């Protein structure tokens, strides 16, 4: 009985996650209805809480897939509760991604659930565990953009529309970055099981620096242009236009001087 109770508590959704989801719901309602006296602040809280929710779901997907793959220690570590405070590195998984959104409007990949890979047998299982996280970002992006690609924007306030567009941009950037076959990112985790032991040993020392290298490259104008060109192409395929993500980011940065055209559209 004690064991059953323990397992149930290991999988009970955390009040911390429910609180973050509640903030997302309330501030989303405030953006939709215009209830907030400061629309930009409401958009900031809505997008930030939505981004944190997606980060939690990203890590949950890794953990849940690992559990079914054979790592039965996942539950005891608290990863199935969706509580971001249970992650191995809360700084890397939550704080830094939020800071990067505030600073540059880019979805920094998180990554902080410790999976005991030796408990998991089969290369396909290892690849699926790595792919599960960024696939969650893909799904989140599809949900955020559903009103756009379904042509269901009639009656959707511009402020909420722009906020969804910006949140979708974060999901797309996170998915693309995570799927890069760079050591330390999920994309490399997908292909790693299929590499020879010698290659894996040679690459292993570079894993802690993979993400840093990617972001260093993004400061190269040509690379930055190509990356965001790809992001814009994906978003346009989902029905989201550049102007919508731009105005969403403009509203998000409520502490800066607002773009007059975006403000005029929102006030309609």
Which residues are catalytically annotated? 59
Cβ neighbors of 133 (< 8 A, separation 6 or more) are: 58, 59, 61, 62, 111, 178, 186
The answer to whether the CB of 101 falls within 8 A of the CB of 107 is: yes
**CA–CA gap between residue 39 and residue 128 (Å, rounded):** 40
Handedness of CA 42, 167, 213, 183 (dihedral sign): positive
Q: Which of 181, 89, 77 is nearest to 134 (CA)?
A: 181
Q: Which of 87, 95, 98, 9 is nearest to 48 (CA)?
A: 98
How far from 268 is each of 88, 116, 263, 264, CA to CA, in Å?
Answer: 46, 54, 9, 7
Lookup: tokens for 42? 């409401």
**CA–CA gap between residue 266 and residue 268 (Å, rounded):** 6
The answer to whether the CB of 164 falls within 8 A of the CB of 111 is: no
């Amino acid at each position: 009985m004690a064991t059953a109770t323990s397992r149930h508590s290991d999988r009970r959704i955390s009040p911390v996650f429910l609180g973050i989801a509640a903030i997302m719901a309330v501030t989303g309602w405030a953006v939709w209805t215009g209830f907030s006296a400061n629309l930009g602040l409401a958009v900031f809280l809505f997008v930030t809480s939505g981004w944190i929710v997606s980060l939690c779901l990203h890590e949950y997907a890794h953990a849940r897939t690992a559990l079914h793959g054979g790592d039965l220690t996942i539950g005891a570590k608290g990863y199935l509760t969706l509580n971001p405070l249970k992650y191995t590195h809360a700084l890397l998984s939550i704080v830094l991604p939020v800071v990067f959104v505030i600073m540059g409007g880019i979805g920094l990949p998180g990554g902080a659930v410790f999976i005991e890979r030796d408990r998991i047998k089969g290369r396909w299982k290892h690849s699926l565990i790595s792919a599960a996280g960024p696939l969650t970002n893909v799904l989140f992006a599809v949900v955020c953009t559903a009103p756009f690609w379904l042509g269901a924007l009639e009656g959707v306030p511009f402020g909420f529309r722009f906020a969804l567009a910006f949140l979708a941009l974060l999901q797309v950037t996170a998915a693309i970055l995570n799927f890069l076959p760079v050591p330390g990112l999920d994309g490399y985790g997908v292909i790693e099981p299929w590499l020879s032991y010698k290659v894996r040993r040679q690459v292993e020392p570079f894993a802690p620096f993979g993400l840093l290298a990617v972001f260093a490259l993004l400061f190269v104008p040509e690379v930055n242009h190509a990356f965001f060109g790809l992001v814009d192409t994906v978003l346009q395929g989902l029905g989201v236009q550049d102007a919508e993500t731009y105005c969403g980011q403009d509203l998000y940065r409520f502490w800066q001087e607002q773009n007059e055209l975006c403000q005029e559209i929102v006030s309609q």
